Structure 1
Amino acid sequence: MKVGIIGGGQLAQMLAQAGQTTDMSSLAMDFAFVAPEKDACAAAYGKHFVYPYLEPKAKEALENWSDVVTYEFESIPVALVQELEKVKPVHPSSKALTLASDRLNEKNMFNQQGIETARFATVNSLEDLQKAVVEVGLPAILKTRRDGYDGKGQVVLRDESELVAAWDSLAPVACILESMVNFKREVSIVASRNVAGEIAYYPLAENYHREGILRLSLSLQHDPKQQEAQDIIRKVMEDVGYVGTMAVELFDLGDKFAANELSPRVHNSGHWSMDGAIASQFKNHLLAITNQPLQDTSIQNATAMVNLIGGIPDKKAVARIPGAVLYDYGKEPKPGRKVGHINICADGDNDENFVPNIIKVLGMVNQQDLIAELLKSSFYK
């Protein structure tokens, strides 16, 4: 089976790594990546077509080489997916991509399904922004409708005096203003759905961000709100006819969830599953898009995932921490750039050193401020 992937970053890399393991399935997989970056970190794991996404040769390469096509992120041209769908199976579909690549479409979809979100309003001009502030209130976040990720393409607004500068920093692109949500915690639900409609749900992850970038995810084995989160992602998957792995980020308001955003792909908050689940989100994505039965998503070890932002710590020091596994994406270190992650797994159900080991890793990556968050989390309790 030849799997073509639009994109050549770390998610494409980890998909290929999962597909090349001996226990993946009886179906051998080869991979090719279309990505304009000559130094794409996934390139070592398959064939690399170095084309811009809208270059006709990009479509031709995937059409001629692939049996099935997927993508690793949503900031790709919908038109490319739509054209490929005419000649090849593409999962997730262009319908899913159209929803997830536009924050306004995404919010409207959630609300149409009866899923709560933050208050929001469309903003296409400074005048729109001024009206939206009256409707939505402050504090709020002005976000570009497309292409923003890891805190990019958004500005926090706390006072009306900030409106002109905020709009000037993002204009002239279409935006959306979202109210700030008073939440108890941020969680995400990851699930995979195959062509036959079978869905496998992963345990919730509790997430901690800094500067808009995910820093720490904690797998939650018996969270009392697991079923509620599953019901939300199931609604979305079934409505869209989704195939592949998806994540929905949620604000826990105490008595209910509010949906933040969905990602039509494998997700950073699911990286813990590489070592903590029986089958990772990457394996199940590949099984889903190739119409195979999904594998067990149960937790085999309680696991925490720490993102590596801007640099890789001393690998020998990490290796001395029991249960710690470091993943180096092979990317050039830059400030604010995700260059790897570390999974820390418990040794059984009563590992007294598990939380201290997480704390050691947080100290190594200068995230000591997250230690207090960890100790008051539902994960620790």
Structure 2
Amino acid sequence: MSTSSNGAQSVLAPGACIGILGGGQLGRMLAIAGARLGFDVHIYTPEDHAPASRVAAHTVKGAYDDLDAVRAFARGVDVVTYEFENVPVETAAAAAECAPVRPGARALEVAQDRLVEKSFLNEAGIATVPFRAVECVSDLERAMAALGVPSILKTRRFGYDGKGQARLKAGSSAEAAFAEIGAQSAILEGFAAFEREVSIVAARGLDGAVKAYTLAENEHEGGILRRSIAPTPAQARLGAKAEAIATTILTQLDYVGVLAVEFFVLAGDQLLVNEIAPRVHNTGHWTMDACACDQFEQHMRAVAGWPLGDTSAHSAAEMVNLIGEDAADWLTLAQEPQAVLHLYGKTEIRAGRKMGHLNRLKPLRD
């Protein structure tokens, strides 16, 4: 173990080993960033030929519910982190028996359940859309009466990219909507008349220091992020407010690493938190080519106990997700001037699957 001491905090020296739970594209980009800083990165994943495995020093294939295998994996590294928020809390807790886990399991507990997440935010004084818990059709009928329509029904757990959701409007059947999401524990969210969606990616170090990137403005298609533009023109008006909200969340969770906060912007520049993601995030991919220290390096710095890097942007950026067949045009995209192509090493193109992204760069305007 290559660990040195910096006061009361443990700081990993180059040559140390960082373990990542999860082998997808975020793990892949974290592994590349870690290698650049001199770390060996080990991946724990249930997948064969996972995108992260092909760039990491070592991979352990195992199920997330095989807690003995998780403990063995954690004993072989200096610190453990995760690349997606649906790592079971029990898995993170098992790893924490054998190595530090950063961020901790509390962040997973909050982010994995939409009801817990929104309750946590409101208790911290952070505004969200109004919401109600739904366990059955009669709960949904009462929630619809309280919040009105349009509104959106979401499973409490495991929904992403528009999955596990049903939109309700005048005349919608509560019974049909509840069946559409699989009759699972859910949350009904009130309508937000938002003008735009923005997000902030911020990090908290082991020493409690917080740094944030500029706000990105986001466009979604079919529930999937299509593009992010940074900095958004709203940065001057909303940046400090968004950073303060992110700092509150990071501090309340005693968080170490990178976290993303997605917002609805309402008339009068009111910010409502839509959701938080305890990990590096798609809306922060623009930082890979527009900042000296991108979100992936920042996360690895934080979990290793290093000082956080510079979050200032040297370029403006438009990040475009390559979804499904978009990636088949890689040769043309690779020739585009002032653009940087990132492909995730996924061998099978499928509709709706994130295959890569393209960062188009422009000079910053004063």
TM-score by length of 2: 0.91
Amino acid at match of 1:180: F
Partners of 1:349 and 1:54 in 2: CA distance = 47
Q: CA deviation at 1:83?
A: 2.0
Query: 1:126 aligns to what?
Result: 137
Query: 2:345 aligns to what?
Result: 330
User: Of 21, 30, 36, which aligns to 2:46?
Assistant: 36
Partners of 1:267 and 1:223 in 2: CA distance = 22
User: Of 224, 230, 247, which aligns to 2:260?
Assistant: 247
Partners of 1:18 and 1:58 in 2: CA distance = 26
- 4+ residue runs of structure 1 moved beyond 6 angstroms? none
Amino acid at match of 1:38: D
Write out per-residue CA displacement over residues 22-46 of structure 1, whole angstroms, 9 at most, x where no aligned residue: xx3xxx2111111111121111122
Which residues of structure 2 form unaligned runs of 5+? 1-15
Partners of 1:319 and 1:309 in 2: CA distance = 16
2:106 corresponds to 1:81: no
Check the 8 A contact 2:75/2:99 in 1, yes or no. no
Query: 1:214 aligns to what?
Result: 225
Partners of 1:165 and 1:244 in 2: CA distance = 41
Matched position secondary structure for 1:215:
strand
Partners of 1:36 and 1:300 in 2: CA distance = 38
Bigger Cα displacement from structure 2, 199-208 vs 252-261:
252-261
Amino acid at match of 1:307: N
Partners of 2:351 and 2:357 in 1: CA distance = 15
Partners of 1:62 and 1:274 in 2: CA distance = 29
Write out per-residue CA displacement over residues 281-306 of structure 1, whole angstroms, 9 at most, x where no aligned residue: 00010000111001101001111100
User: Of 6, 10, 25, which aligns to 1:10?
Assistant: 25
Instruction: Please list, as runs of the form range in 1=range in 2, the aligned pairs for 1:88-237 lying within 5 A after superposition.
Output: 88-220=99-231, 222-237=235-250
Which residues of structure 1 form unaligned runs of 5+? 351-380
Q: CA deviation at 1:169?
A: 1.9
Partners of 2:72 and 2:183 in 1: CA distance = 34
Partners of 1:198 and 1:266 in 2: CA distance = 17
Partners of 1:282 and 1:10 in 2: CA distance = 11
Partners of 1:282 and 1:165 in 2: CA distance = 42
Query: 2:34 aligns to what?
Result: 19
Write out per-residue CA displacement over residues 263-282 of structure 1, whole angstroms, 9 at most, x where no aligned residue: 00000000000001111000
Q: CA deviation at 1:57?
A: 4.0
Matched position secondary structure for 1:176:
strand
Q: CA deviation at 1:223?
A: 3.0
Q: CA deviation at 1:313?
A: 3.9
For this pair of structures, how many residues does the alignment match? 345
Partners of 2:264 and 2:87 in 1: CA distance = 27
Compute the RMSD of aligned alpha carbons: 1.4
Check the 8 A contact 1:272/1:343 in 2, yes or no. yes
Matched position secondary structure for 1:333:
coil
Partners of 2:53 and 2:364 in 1: CA distance = 39
Write out per-residue CA displacement over residues 285-337 of structure 1, whole angstroms, 9 at most, x where no aligned residue: 00001110011010011111000111314233213321111111111210111
Write out per-residue CA displacement over residues 58-112 of structure 1, whole angstroms, 9 at most, x where no aligned residue: 3133222111000011112101111222321101111111001110011001111
Matched position secondary structure for 2:275:
strand
Write out per-residue CA displacement over residues 343-371 of structure 1, whole angstroms, 9 at most, x where no aligned residue: 0111x347xxxxxxxxxxxxxxxxxxxxx
Q: CA deviation at 1:123?
A: 0.4
Bigger Cα displacement from structure 2, 172-181 vs 310-319:
310-319
Query: 2:83 aligns to what?
Result: 72
Matched position secondary structure for 1:20:
helix
Amino acid at match of 2:259: M
Partners of 1:254 and 1:265 in 2: CA distance = 29
Query: 2:275 aligns to what?
Result: 261
Check the 8 A contact 1:244/1:265 in 2, yes or no. yes
Partners of 2:255 and 2:318 in 1: CA distance = 28
Matched position secondary structure for 1:261:
strand
Matched position secondary structure for 1:257:
strand
Write out per-residue CA displacement over residues 196-229 of structure 1, whole angstroms, 9 at most, x where no aligned residue: 0011110000000011100000011653210000
Percent identity between the two aligned chains: 43
Q: CA deviation at 1:136?
A: 1.4
Matched position secondary structure for 1:122:
strand
Distance 1:349 1:190, change over 3 A: closer
2:308 corresponds to 1:294: yes
Task: Name whichever structure is richer in strand by fraction.
Answer: 2
2:354 corresponds to 1:343: no
Partners of 1:223 and 1:62 in 2: CA distance = 45
Matched position secondary structure for 1:12:
helix
